[in-house]
A and B are shown apart, each in its own frame.
Chain A
């Protein structure tokens, strides 16, 4: 495989997002395994400063892909610019983060080369012959092989360590020469979701429930345990999607990231998007009737069983323990 491995860097307000260094680190290890070089691309109207930063932290060559139509990155703009770069620079592998930008751009860039992408990978053997990813929300893993070039992959955040060293890479400007007609999406603005009343980020105890609670009423048993422990209630996404609790209670990649002293997950399977929001908690208790549930991987202690039995019993035991002081 080898050749040139390109990490597509995401920026925010001109600053490099930390996840970019996970891609750069992976590009380096793949390049070392296959005798290639670790490259990176920063897209923007004025990407030079960010490109220099990436060149000082891991990439041998950073392409500052500069075009007024990349002031805001759109799917069409990014695909056209990266397609031009890939062919001009003979890139063999293109790495994205599995992020809102990654899943918007990567499959289309791959398809423009007549290939599917390899999405949300968590492992790569050597220079990119075999790739590993999860399926069924973390319950199963699978290996993938794909012939063709360029291989386009999105990489799960946190799956590879960020590159931490110092390097003296080169920055090369690349002008893709985009035309307005190529970019059909028009960026309007980025808006913040309205803030809710509770802030789980500062809670010391959080008791979270998942889809299996079944209704807003049945969620009461989660609230009672949270009350007994003097904590807040949290939830997985299906709970807030269904409106059983307001969105501000949702823990995870599209909700809040929490770090309480105690986190109890009841009837939550442990999809990666939930785990990234709570794995930093001090002590984690998981209750799930499926012993294979991925949530047990991040728990300090787990109970395999029916939450409708266990949660009320634990509430009672906590109240009694507090009574005894």
Chain B
């Protein structure tokens, strides 16, 4: 079995965000990037299937040079190969042009299973994988909290609201997006880090994948984003200031006056 995992690198969740001059994206300078949390769970799910049934695991990512680090981490954790779409033509895409690029990279690979995150923690768009599934013509399921092999292919438990799950069977090849908490992602071992040095990270250009540069990245995007900004403060609560003692005394007073629990 061949499993492809789509991995995005996103700002770490505690990063202080400022907006670029065009108001289309954040200012990336000075920010630490990490693997999108949902994608760490997707990679672990691939590695679990590899451990249990044997598989070749391929990690794929679109992004600038810094993304090489994320892919190295995937290789050190247990992925076998990586594809880094870092040509300038791939940058600045939207879900449509990113799915176009991922589809071009994955078509020749012909994976049995594609695992992605439910959403990226930066844009929160939650749609690149589903578009990719349509482009590749494979069935999909989103928000998996459990994936098992079955006679038909895979049995997937999708998370629903209200603490329920929907169980669906999917034939292979298929694409599944993974929800956080589905497993316990492993960390790279020293041995894994050493082994990763010998593993390949391919960096194909659009022409190597048979896709027009105008179909990917910024040129291929269909959604126009503008006006990225901090939302206006609504009424919101009062922010307390003062010494630690003053603040805690004030909080106790407010708890007394407003809740009756003290």
Interface residues of A (CB under 8 A from B): 74-76, 98-100, 103-104, 106-108, 110-112, 115-120, 134-148, 184-193, 204-205, 211-212, 229-231, 237-238, 240-241, 243, 247, 253-256, 261-262, 269, 282-286, 290-292, 294, 296-305, 309-310, 313-314, 316-318, 321-322
Contact = CB atoms under 8 A, between A and B. Distances in A.
Interface residues of B, number: 82
Contacts of B261: 204-205, 229-231, 261-262
Interface centre among B95, B125, B224, B238 (most CB of A within 10 A): B125
Interface stretch (B55-63, B82-90, B201-209, B240-248): B240-248
A316 B252 CA distance: 10
**B interface secondary structure, majority:** mixed
Interface stretch (B67-75, B107-115, B152-160): B152-160
A185 B139 contact: yes
A237 B247 CA distance: 28
A310 B249 CA distance: 11
B139 A309 contact: no
A139 B127 contact: no
8 contacts: A99-B161, A100-B159, A100-B160, A117-B95, A142-B225, A262-B261, A298-B236, A302-B240
Contact of A303 (B121, B236, B239): B239
A100 B162 CA distance: 11
Interface centre among A104, A143, A322 (most CB of B within 10 A): A104
Contacts of A303: 239-240, 247, 251
B148 to A, nearest CB: 11
B39 interface: no
Nearest to B183: A241
A72 to B, nearest CB: 9
Contact of A116 (B94, B122, B184, B254): B94
A310 B237 contact: no
B30 interface: no
A101 B261 CA distance: 40
A298 B246 CA distance: 23
Interface in B158-200: 158-161, 163-171, 179-181, 184
Contacts of B143: 100, 103-104
Contact of B122 (A136, A189, A299, A305): A136
B115 to A, nearest CB: 16
B233 interface: yes
A204 B255 CA distance: 12
B229 to A, nearest CB: 6
Nearest to B168: A185
Contacts of B223: 116, 118, 144-146
B165 A190 contact: yes
